[in-house]
Amino acid sequence: MKISVNEILLELHNGAKVKDAILKFYSYQEKRRPRHLPAVEDKFGNRVEYDGELTDGTFLYISGRRRGRSLLLLAGLILPAAGFFCACSISGKTGNVQQEERQAVIFAVNDIHAAIDNFPKLAYIVDSLESVYPGMLLVSAGDNQTGNPVNDQYPETGLPVIELMNATGFDLSAVGNHEFDSEPEGFSKLTHRAEFSFICANMSVEAPYNLKVEPFKIITLPNGLKLAFLGLVQLNQNGIPDSHPDKIKGFSFSSPFATAGKYLGLKDQSDIFIVLSHLGFPDDVKLAETMPAGIDLIIGGHSHTRVEKEQVHNGILITQAESKLKYGSLIRLTVNHDGVLQKTMELIDIRNSPGEKPSVRAMVDNYNNNQALKEVIATALDDFSSHEELGYLMADAQRHYAGADIALVNPGGVRMGALAKGPVTIMDIYKLDPFGNDLIMTKLTGMEIHSLMMAAYLMDGEPLYPSGLKITLKKDNAGNMADIIFMTEKDSLLERDRTYTVAMNSYMTSVYRYEHKDPGQSLFISAADATIDWFRKMQIIKSYRGEKRIQIIK
């Protein structure tokens, strides 16, 4: 995909995130990466998070400054005692006219990504708001799952998030691309464990999965207002959500833009028509600008955009609240006595809430105390006594998971220097590879692999750890790298013009400057989780003692 950073067009692997684009920008500019990455904004002036997901054609800007924290911590709304707020009239009218006004209030979050530790604060704020707005709805714009091993490696994958959403009182959720991470059967089970509704209109189920997902939902509030919610999920350049193709077998998808047009009749069935979108902010704007009149509000997710000031496009209010329950959007929709709809929003700081809901805190503490991360997934037959041996192990795991010809691991990506023989746990893998970088599959020729290895060596001062290759590095008399010779596992020379499939992590695809045509494709799984998957299948890890895949000669 093509992404613009500070007006410089960059090509990134499909599935890239904001951090990948910023790292690529510094690499392209041949600038040293700052110790702390700078703040990043989209072309609409919204702050975007580094783990925000990108769509082709996105424009990003490095602001060069770190803005002060936007503390709309219900400032002036939260009082020291939990549950007490001061409510302000939106219309400013009094008497009989105000009685005729009807208001819908929605608290919206998006891209929770299994940030379970923030649920107690969310629950506190929700309870407090509901004391002021008794009919308030609580909704999520998708990607509730993936990002925390306590949740992701739970015996029933993803269940902690669902149970916490139930306890907090969610009414509705869009389907995000990461809802598919638990695969069709797992996702189906979670939809039935949820005490709220999932909606997605541009998805259909071809296989006989008992999935509890509706295209839309009409909710009638106690004051009689009818709110129609339409769910939409993003599609990448391959026509599917950003997920591994194996995880969406049995599903088919249609354009979210064409689909939205088919549901404009919902406006006639409701007082307020809302799209609960997992498209990303740029595509939410595109939807707003290309749709005929009808949609009143878009509650968005996917791009991890922090909308702090009201964004109105083509008369449609668009909101998004960053990610991981750091913020939420408080949305007030008031239908005046003359039928005119007034729309306001403000960003609420969840992370710095002064209180927590004790019952939800107890649930979170229980999840964090579970044994999931202590699960033994394999047994090592021998000690691993060096970064090199563990680098080979990681490369083997990633290569076999991806089904690639070759895998390469950067030396800085191996964070342990030893691993004792015997039981290997999930926690061991997360200590070995704590970064959360995605696993990327790239098609490279032998010449491009040579270019990659040279670029990596110049940057790191060490060779990449290979799987599927044996490498001889030749140095000149001055100690500089002169040449690299690659041999396959079958002891034949790597063919310079032949194309090979190469697996590596997303950090490597972003920072190394080398000659290549294919930007790569994310497999939408972290390199660590791919390693865990392979360990589970192998169960027995052979000895790597004395393994030498790299030789340096002069």
pLDDT of residue 374: 93
pLDDT of residue 64: 53
Count of CB atoms within 10 A of residue 132's CB? Answer: 15
Average pLDDT for runs of 10 along the chain of length 554 = 96 97 94 90 96 96 58 46 34 42 97 98 98 97 96 95 98 98 94 98 87 97 97 95 93 97 96 98 97 93 97 97 98 94 97 96 95 94 98 98 98 96 97 96 98 94 96 87 90 95 97 96 97 97 96 88
Count of CB atoms within 10 A of residue 112's CB? Answer: 31
pLDDT of residue 388: 97
Question: 486, 461 in Cβ contact below 8 A?
Answer: no
pLDDT of residue 72: 55
Predicted structure pTM score: 0.91
SS3 143: coil
pLDDT of residue 73: 55
pLDDT of residue 232: 98
Q: Is 37 left (phi over 0), alpha (psi -120 to 50) or beta?
A: beta
Instruction: Give the tokens for residue 461.
Output: 């001062």
Distances (CA, A) of 131 to 65, 84, 125, 136, 468: 39, 7, 10, 9, 62
pLDDT of residue 209: 82
